[in-house]
Structure 1
Amino acid sequence: MRPADLDAVPDPTARCNGITRDTVVAAPPFRDVADNVYDSLHGRVWAGHNIVDFDSVIIRDAFAEIGRPPPEPKGMVDTLPLLTHWFGPRAGDMKLASLANYFGLGKQRHRSLDDVKMNIDVVKNCATVLFLEESLRGVVPTPQNMLADATIRTQGTSDPATNRDYNELVGSHVEEMMIDTTKQMDARSSGGSSGFVELDDVSTESIEIKVVVLHRSRLRRIFHHKGAQLQLSCPGLEVRWVSTQFQPNLSIVVDIPDNLSKVLEFCDNLAQSESPEARSNSTWKPIIKRYGNATTRPTVRLKIAMTIVNGNTAMYSTQICQKDCNGVIPKLASRKVDAAELESLQGNKVDAFFSLEIYDYKAKAGILLVAKRLDVHFLRDQA
């Protein structure tokens, strides 16, 4: 459809979906198709990838611009929080394009029907891997046996060419799973910390705040380090206490070493000097806190990553992995956090992998440290 402002259509060389200014000039404006859109969506279940925070917002804004109430869904199935919760971060940033690339489904075309089909294929493949992981937990057959079994199950039920493609897909990921299951991984190996920077590799001179433009020109400020979003890893943080009384919000308070303290203090000062959040009427909350006198070890709060689904259901995406007494972790030993398990961490040590997020909410501003993964050291009560 034709946007009110044709300048909203960027240079076609920067687009990956083939939509150009000439394409939209002859298209109808949203006002002319709003009735059809409303009838198609109202009272139905909406499904898609990141539809809670993106697509549904666009729909509401579009109807607001023409002075009409938006359609209301009967329910929403957002595959982004669902797959983040169940499938985990193994496919990277969990964007649809990243998941499609992980499963070899080709490039995302950013066209409605193509993206819907890709979304369905991604969910099918994620479900296949999750089913196999659960079925094979504690069992280590050869990938060849699993592939042969998959071939037997699919013979005679569909096109042979489709069977071959499916078997190749299942076989490749079964093999990957078997390698992960039989291979013991050190807690500091790159496989568990991809995308996270170790403190010895951080250069404060390379830390900057970049502005990302979101939908409807909303701005978000993100810490960058050497051209990528800054995410940190730090081993051996002692959990001072666990906060579960404000559920669904969960967090842990940990003691931090001097090198992490210096990096976080730099980020705190940088955010205060460059971010409009610091110049607003909100009270800036320091990222580091000391309890007792000034000589006590500094502490920070690590927030457990959470998404609210369907308005009232909390889904936690932080992963917990437990190291054994030798300090190694079976790759498939990771699981999602819950409040009861979190309380057992008090007094133990964790290797933390976390992001830094600038916020301004309810007259308070600052930096949130959001835990993406916690590698728990051998628990004391199991020693």
Structure 2
Amino acid sequence: MEGGEGRDEIAFFDVETTVPRPRGRTGYSLLEFGAILVHPRQLVEVGSYSTVIRPADPSATSVRSNGINPETVASAPSFPEVADQIFAILHGRVWAGHNIREFDCPVIREAFAEIGQAPPEPKGIIDTLPLLTQWFGRRAGDMKLASLASYFGLGQQKHRSLDDVRMNIEVLKCCAAVLFLETSFPDGFSIKSPGMFCTIIPASEGCSSFAGFLQPAEVSVQDISAEIVPSGHGGDKLQILHGNRLLRLCCMGLKVQFGPRELFKDHAGRPKLNIVVYIPENLCKVLDACDLLAQISFQNSSSRSGWKHVIRKNGYSNPYSIRLQ
């Protein structure tokens, strides 16, 4: 990964070190450096670099650094051998990481000072520890990276530089998503204890501002019908009608729960975002009728695919809690 001053990418980085030495400003020696360059507008990875570093005294390697031991660092390059690469990655960029102001930044500066070389200088620093403590609050306990990762179901912290950097980025994205949802629904938004879903209760405004939309109480199940019509893109689409008009529903004040859940995982084994909507009985009856009619129309069509219900009831504790497919 090449670096250079004036580049726009954000350099998320992390270091692993030995235990404190008896003397020295920070008392740590570098064992590993890892960095990921992230596009500032898309938050996507555009490059990465990591290296194990051989300290002056390999026997001082700490077992707390997961998987890094004297045998691992014996054949690793020394800091002077990788200093130019680390300088190129960091210098002139915005630095980002968890607790980097208090730990990682001083360690980097001391490492360069010890070899008599000017340290890299950041264009700015984003320390996610005070940032998330201020905006996200202490809902994840001590706000350490491991605690935040556990809160969002992202797994255990590995205490290896590149793995921890990627976890830091994912934690930041999760926190940003929750804060965005809280800002979007300022009325009645509450946070459950760690491991529970976040709950949104939107403000009730009625449906007067949604022309052509019906509230569930205004819908007669007997007047609902479904039909297959051309989609205009060379295929067909399903329409749900109420009388002779398209059925458009509006139901304010719904309670929505969302959050990662271990039961549902993606191809990489990570928990998927789970969304559960708690709905009134009259809306449930309307959706059940629409679902049944849609299934019948689908099965009568030429499609060979299997039918998948649009809604799935969420268990017996609350019969009107549904999960949208």
- TM-score by structure 2 length? 0.44
Which has the bigger relative contact order, CA under 8 A and spacing at least 6? 1
Larger radius of gyration: 2
Kindly indicate which of the two structures has a greater share of residues assigned to helix.
Answer: 1
